[in-house]
Structure formats: C-alpha cells, structure tokens
Structure 1
C-alpha cells in the first residue's frame, strides 16, 4: 500500500477538527427532537425522539465510527453499533440523546444532547448504568484536589487557587436524596451549594467555562456521563476524577484514564437551559439552538447559535 493509499483509508487517523461542525448538526437535530416533548407529560418520549434523530443524522457524517457508549435498552445507538458514513477517520463515540430526565410536568434544566469522539479504543469502557463518585474542576485546579480527601480540604484548595474565600466557592450537586449528607458537608465547610435539577453533564463541563457560576462539581452520577464530561474537560483544560468500585475495591480514575489520545472532539446542544447552554427556543416561524463545540487539537472552543425555519404541519 502506498503512503497516499494508506492516508486515504484513515486507518491511522482519529477525529479531526473538520468533523466537529458535522457533529454539531447531529446534536442540534437531537435537541430539537427532544425539545418538542418537554413539558408534555409523556416521560421517555423526548429521549426516544432524540435517539432517532441522532441516529438518522449520524449516517451522513464522514467517519467510520463505533458507538462505545450509547443509549441503553434501544435498538439503535447501542454499544458496538457502527456510526457514520463508512469513510473518513476511524473513531469511537460516547453519546447521550438527552442527559438528565425531562420532567413530565415542566422544563427541567441541565438537559443536553451530546457526542464525544476520540480515537479508536480511547474511551473508558464504562459499565452500563453504573454510578460513580465525581469531582470536576476547571483549569488550574486539577493538581490540587483529590477525590479521596475530605471535602473541606478540596474546597479550601480550590479557593486558594482561585484566590477567593471558601465562602465564595460554588459547588454543583445533582439534586438527589442520596446527596443529602454531601450537601450538609459542603455547607459545613463554608461553601455554597448549587443544586442541579436535571443531569450532571452540563454542570461538570460548566466548571471549566470562564462565565460559569459553578467552581466544582461533586456527587455521584452516571459513569457513561463521566466519560463524556471527561472528553469535554480534556479539551477545555479542566479535570475530572471519579471513584468507581471494581472487584470489591475503590479505584480512582482521572481524566486521562477516561479519555485517552490526542484527537478529541466534543459537541453538545442544549435541550433545556443549563449553566452551560440555553435550551431550544421556538419563535414565530423559527427555532433557535445553542451549542458548544470543542476540540483538543487545535484547542478551540466555539459557541454556535443556529436558527432554522419552523414549519407548521
């Protein structure tokens, strides 16, 4: 095989920046599909609609992808399914068609349609449905925190790096009964709690954004979402630590354990509003979305505002 033929196969290439804007069209379509079901009282319909939209639009993306982390209990976008046009870079995907439960009676914030893409074999094989403890921080804080240390010590370390008082540190915590003691511990340490009502993916990524009101994310959540968040944070200069129970022992994994390789992409579109993105909005004759697109090489961050015609049928 000649050098030109080898390069054309994409056999040694992972995802590149040109793929990112193709993927954002996929998350936009999924978010719009999910958004049509928000507040309508039919639990699960939004995720189903988003999954089908994501699956359909992925078919035209120029890549040879494999779903490494996908939707559980569905006939499409399952772990091991091929994704993409069948030509272009070889890569693995971790995706969610609607992180966070869409409430049957209202618009629950923090719901995203998201895709992380990395080189083949670069994504951690997260156990389906597993919960892990998480600690996510922004740039400069990864080296001073340790998920195995007492909460107060980590919060004081974060405050020192940010040059703020610990009373000004804001901690994002998923609003679940299992986090009651965690919330008390954070407040006892002198920090403030910001409860996340939907999923924790948006909160985990928001800690690395300059305009975010969240300094750190703590608590337990899905292992699959941890891998997706790690992909975004690795591009944004943040850090994620998770503690997972394997073979009867606790094991700590870091960002580089969850997502390896040099070529990493992350795209997400807001379904409902969050600390990271606005949700889908319907106006007279048009639909608007807000997305974030990040890549590791070159290190770029784009906020994409899209508007499209909305036809009444």
Structure 2
C-alpha cells in the first residue's frame, strides 16, 4: 500500500486529521521522497539522524511523541522493532526489499542484492512481500532488551563514574506490556 494511503489509514484509526499526525523517520537520502510525500499531505515529519528501533518503540509508548514510524532500513532492525512493537501492543507491517531497492541500483549493489535474494529464497522468505506483525513475530512470549551505548530518547548512554561504569537498560515484557528501566553499575 502506498505511503499516502497508509498515513490516511493511520490518521483515520487515531481519529486525527492528517495535519495533526506525527511521523518519525530517518534523515537519510533514501527517505527524502517519503519525507516530501508526507509533508505534502500536511503530516508533521520528524527526521532523526539514527535510531530506527528507538523510534519504533516511541510510537507505542504512553504519551508518545510520534504516531507512526516509516523507514527503509535493515532487516535485523525491522525484526527487533517488531518484537518491541508487539510487546507493547502496537502494530506494524514490513516489506523486505533487496539492497538495490534500499541503497540504489548500482553495479556493486546488484551483487549484494543477488546474494540476498538467494539467501531469502533458501530460507523461504519472499522479497517484496508485505509481512504483518504476527508474521514477523510469531509468538507472544516476548522480552525486548536494549542497553544504551550512546544516549537517546529511550535510555541513557554509558557513563563513566568514580566507581566504574553506569549503564541503563530498557526491558519490555510482552506478557504484561511492562517497561522497566534498569540502572546498573559495573
């Protein structure tokens, strides 16, 4: 489904006009057309330099700063995001695209794309198919864990203290949709 249709559907589901919808994405050249498309609809677009998994989580938090997340990114980040979104009771869809579709159709990218397509075929994964959240994460027994290395909107980054190192970890339990922040001293 085209981005415009998806944004209209999200706005309708949330009972918001398009000019009140808040979309988060990444500030990457590959997303410039999507940013322009959403902006033309009146959607408020937040383009972050990085942090697609964190942005996905933030769309599902209470008092969240974003209503919808759209990006073109890596498959591992997509599956990690799907785990967090499902654990928080959210929803998402993802389409697996090849390297050329994500990064541009160049000679060096074609070799990578061909290898990816072969791996996907061997695993029974369809390229260019839209997967539902339940197809991305089949079970409900989910535990999402993220420890900050650099600071962000979810957790603080590693901090050097007089007694060692302090880290902060976010744990999301899917069974009861709880979020816990754990401060650790090492």
Shorter-chain TM range is 0.7 to 0.9
Q: Does 1:202 align with 2:54?
A: yes
- Determine the C-alpha separation between the residues in 1 that align with 2:24 and 2:10: 14
- Determine the C-alpha separation between the residues in 1 that align with 2:50 and 2:162: 28
Output the TM-score relative to the length of structure 1. 0.47
Q: Which residue of 1 aligns with 2:90?
A: 238
Query: What does the per-residue CA deviation read over 1:57-105, in whole Å, with 9 as the maximum and x for residues that have no partner?
Result: xxxxxxxxxxxxxxxxxxxxxxxxxxxxxxxxxxxxxxxxxxxxxxxxx
Q: Does 1:262 align with 2:140?
A: yes
Mark the runs of 5 or more structure 1 residues left unpaired by the alignment.
1-147
Structure 1 position 273, deviation (Å): 2.5
Mark the runs of 5 or more structure 2 residues left unpaired by the alignment.
98-116
Q: Does 1:293 align with 2:171?
A: yes
Structure 1 position 284, deviation (Å): 4.3
Secondary structure of the corresponding residue to residue 198 of structure 1? coil
Q: Which residue of 1 aligns with 2:100?
A: none
Q: Residue 303 of structure 1 is aligned with which of 170, 173, 180?
A: 180
- Determine the C-alpha separation between the residues in 2 that align with 1:161 and 1:287: 44
Matches within 5 A, 1:182-201: 182-201=34-53
Matches within 5 A, 1:33-112: none
Q: Residue 273 of structure 1 is aligned with which of 133, 147, 151?
A: 151
Output the TM-score relative to the length of structure 2. 0.75
Q: Which residue of 2 aligns with 1:227?
A: 79
Secondary structure of the corresponding residue to residue 304 of structure 1? strand
The answer as to whether partners of 1:292 and 1:302 remain within 8 angstroms in 2 is yes
- Determine the C-alpha separation between the residues in 1 that align with 2:165 and 2:150: 13
Q: Which residue of 2 aligns with 1:251?
A: 129
Alignment CA distance shift 1:288-1:162 (3 Å): farther
Secondary structure of the corresponding residue to residue 221 of structure 1? coil
The answer as to whether partners of 1:227 and 1:259 remain within 8 angstroms in 2 is yes
- Determine the C-alpha separation between the residues in 1 that align with 2:129 and 2:53: 21
- Determine the C-alpha separation between the residues in 1 that align with 2:38 and 2:29: 15
Q: Residue 169 of structure 1 is aligned with which of 9, 21, 34?
A: 21
- Determine the C-alpha separation between the residues in 2 that align with 1:280 and 1:194: 26
Structure 1 position 283, deviation (Å): 4.1
Secondary structure of the corresponding residue to residue 256 of structure 1? helix
Q: Which residue of 1 aligns with 2:11?
A: 159
Structure 1 position 286, deviation (Å): 5.1
Structure 1 position 249, deviation (Å): 6.0
Q: Which has the higher helix share?
A: 2
Q: Which residue of 1 aligns with 2:66?
A: 214
Q: Which of the pair has the greater relative contact order for Cα pairs under 8 Å at 6+ separation?
A: 1
Secondary structure of the corresponding residue to residue 219 of structure 1? coil
The CA RMSD measured in Å over matched residues stands at 2.3
Alignment CA distance shift 1:189-1:243 (3 Å): same
The answer as to whether partners of 1:212 and 1:276 remain within 8 angstroms in 2 is no
Secondary structure of the corresponding residue to residue 5 of structure 2? helix
